[in-house]
A and B are shown apart, each in its own frame.
Chain A
Amino acid sequence: MRATSLIKALPGLVVLVALVVLPYVTVTIPGILPGRVNGPGSLTLLATCFIFAGFALSYDVIFGRTGLLSFGHALFVAAGSYLLTISLSSWDLPLPLAIVVALTSTLVLALVVGGIALRVGGIAFAMVTLAFAQAASIIVLRNPGDLTGGEEGLVLDRSAIPQLLVGVHNAPYRYWLALGFVVIAWALVALLVRSRAGHAMAAVRENEARAAVLGYDVYKVKLLAIVVGALIGGLGGIVHAIVLGGSTPHLTTTEFTLALLVMVVLGGAGRLWGAVIGGFVYHYLDSRLVEFSSSSALGAMPDIVQRLLGQPLLILGVLFIIVVYFAPQGLTGLGARLLRKERA
Chain B
Amino acid sequence: MSELILILATGLGLGALYFLAASGLSLIYGLMGVLNFAHSAFMMLGAYAGWETMQRLPDGMSVGVRLVLAVVVALVVGALIGAVVEVCLIRPLYKHHIQQVLVTVGLSLAAVAVAQAVWSADPKPVQKPTWMASTTDIGGAHLPNDRLLFVVVALLVFAGLMALLRYTRLGLIIRAGVENRTMVEALGINVQGTFTIVFAMGGAAAALAGVLYSQYAGSVSPAQGGSLLIYAFIVVVIGGMGSLPGTAVAAVAVGLVQQMANYYAASGVGDLSVVLLLAVVLLVRPASMKGGHA
Binding site for B on A (CB under 8 A): 69, 116, 119-124, 126-128, 130-132, 134-135, 138-139, 142, 254-255, 258, 261-262, 265, 304, 307-308, 310-314, 316-318, 320-321, 324-325, 328
Query: How near does chain A come to B115, taking the closest CB pair, in angstroms?
Result: 9
Question: How far, in Å, is B225 (CB) from chain A's closest CB?
Answer: 12
Q: Find out whether the CB atom of B237 lies under 8 angstroms from the CB atom of A317.
A: no
* Cβ contacts under 8 Å, A121 to chain B: 290, 294
- B109 lies within 8 A of chain A by Cβ: yes
Tell me whether A123 and B110 are in contact (CB under 8 A): no
Shortest Cβ gap from B222 to chain A (Å): 10
Beyond contacts A121-B290, A123-B35, A123-B294: 18 other A-B pairs, Cβ-Cβ < 8 A, are A116-B279, A116-B282, A120-B286, A122-B294, A123-B29, A123-B291, A123-B293, A126-B35, A128-B237, A131-B233, A142-B268, A265-B102, A311-B113, A311-B117, A317-B110, A324-B103, A325-B93, A328-B99
A317 and B114 alpha carbons, distance in the complex (Å) = 10
Complex alpha-carbon distance, A132 and B111, angstroms: 25
Chain A interface secondary structure, helix, strand, loop or mixed? helix
The residues of A that contact B293 with a CB separation of less than 8 Å are 122-123
The one of B105, B282, B290 that contacts A261, using a Cβ cutoff of 8 Å: B105
Interface string of B220-250 (1 = CB under 8 A from A): 0000001000100110110001000000000
Q: Is B92's CB within 8 Å of the partner chain A? A: yes
The listed residue (A122, A138, A317) touching B113 by CB distance below 8 A is: A317
Interface residues of B in 159-186 (CB under 8 A from A): none
Tell me how far the C-beta of B279 lies from the nearest C-beta in chain A, rounded to whole angstroms.
Answer: 6
**Smallest Cβ-Cβ distance to A125: which chain B residue:** B294
From residue A298, how far is it (CB to closest CB) to chain B in Å? 13
| Smallest CB separation, B185 vs chain A (Å) | 21
- Fill in one digit per residue for B122-148: 1 if any A CB lies within 8 Å of its CB, else 0: 000000000000000000000000000
Q: How far is the CB of B36 from chain A (nearest CB, A)?
A: 11
Residue numbers in A under 8 Å from B276 (CB-CB): 135
Residues of B within 8 A of A (CB): 29, 33, 35, 37, 89, 92-93, 97-99, 101-103, 105-114, 116-118, 226, 230, 233-234, 236-237, 241, 268, 271-272, 275-276, 278-279, 282-283, 286, 289-291, 293-294
Choose from A122, A138, A265 the contact partner of B291 (Cβ within 8 Å). A122
> Please, which residue of chain A has its CB at the minimum distance from the CB of B89?
A321
Instruction: Please name all residues of chain A whose beta carbon is closer than 8 Å to the beta carbon of B114 when the two chains form the complex.
Output: 308, 311, 314
Residue pairs across A and B with Cβ atoms less than 8 A apart, 22 shown, are A116-B282, A122-B293, A123-B101, A123-B241, A124-B237, A124-B291, A128-B279, A128-B282, A131-B275, A132-B275, A134-B275, A135-B275, A265-B102, A308-B113, A311-B117, A313-B112, A313-B113, A314-B109, A314-B113, A317-B110, A324-B102, A325-B92
| A120 touching B290, Cβ below 8 Å | yes
Question: What separation, in Å, do the CA atoms of A255 and B226 have in the docked complex?
Answer: 9
Q: Which residues of A contact B111 (CB under 8 A)?
A: 317
| Cβ contact within 8 Å between A318 and B272 | no
Whether A134 and B230, one on each chain, are in contact in the complex, defined by CB atoms closer than 8 angstroms, is: yes
**Given that A119-B283, A123-B293, A324-B99 are contacting pairs, would A318 and B110 also be in contact in the complex, using a CB cutoff of 8 Å?**
yes
Assess A261 versus B102: contact at CB under 8 Å? Given A119-B282, A124-B241, A131-B233: yes
Closest-by-CB residue of A relative to B105 is A258
Q: Complex formed: what's the CA distance from A153 to B102 in Å?
A: 30
Contact B289 A124 (CB under 8 A): yes
A325 CA / B93 CA spacing, docked (Å): 8
Closest to B226 in A: A254
Determine if B101 and A131 form an interchain contact, defined as CB atoms under 8 angstroms apart: no
Q: Which residues does chain B contribute within 8 Å of A314, judged by CB atoms?
A: 109-110, 113-114, 117
Residues of A within 8 A of B275 (CB): 131-132, 134-135, 138
Residues of B near A126 (CB, < 8 A) are 35, 101
Of all chain B residues, which has the CB nearest A328? B99
Instruction: Compute how far the CA of A316 lies from the CA of B110 in the bound complex, rounded to whole angstroms.
Output: 8
Q: Are B117 and A308 in contact (CB under 8 A)?
A: yes
Chain A residues with Cβ under 8 A from B286's Cβ?
119-120
Most buried by B among A261, A313, A325: A313
Q: Are B106 and A262 in contact (CB under 8 A)?
A: yes
* A253 CB → nearest B CB, Å: 9
Q: How far is the CA of A324 from the CA of B90 in the complex (A)?
A: 12
Tell me the complex Cα distance, A255–B105, Å. 10
Closest CB in chain B relative to A313 CB, distance in Å: 4
A278: min CB distance to chain B, Å: 13
**A317–B103 Cα gap in the complex (Å)?**
9
A318 to B89 alpha-carbon distance, docked (Å): 12
Closest 3 CB pairs of A and B: A122-B294, A317-B110, A314-B113
B79 CB to nearest chain A CB (Å): 22
Asked if A312 and B289 make an inter-chain contact with CB atoms under 8 angstroms apart, the answer reads: no
Q: With a 10 A CB-CB cut-off, give which of A130, A131, A320 has the most chain B CB atoms.
A: A131
Beta-carbon contact of A124 and B294 below 8 Å:
yes
B231's closest neighbor in chain A, by CB?
Answer: A134
Pair B105/A311 contact, Cβ less than 8 Å: no
Tell me if A69 and B101 are in contact (CB < 8 A). Answer: yes
Q: Hey, which chain A residues are within 8 Å of B290, CB to CB?
A: 120-121, 124
- Given A123-B35, A123-B294, A314-B110, residue A138 in contact with residue B272 (CB < 8 A): yes
Q: How far is the CB of B255 from chain A (nearest CB, A)?
A: 16
Residues of A within 8 A of B294 (CB): 121-124
Give, as a whole number of angstroms, the nearest-CB distance from A306 to chain B.
9
B112 closest partner in A (C-beta) = A313
Known: A123-B29, A128-B278. A135 touches B272 (CB 8 A): yes
Find chain B residues with CB under 8 A from A311 CB.
Answer: 113-114, 116-117
Contact A130 B230 (CB under 8 A): yes
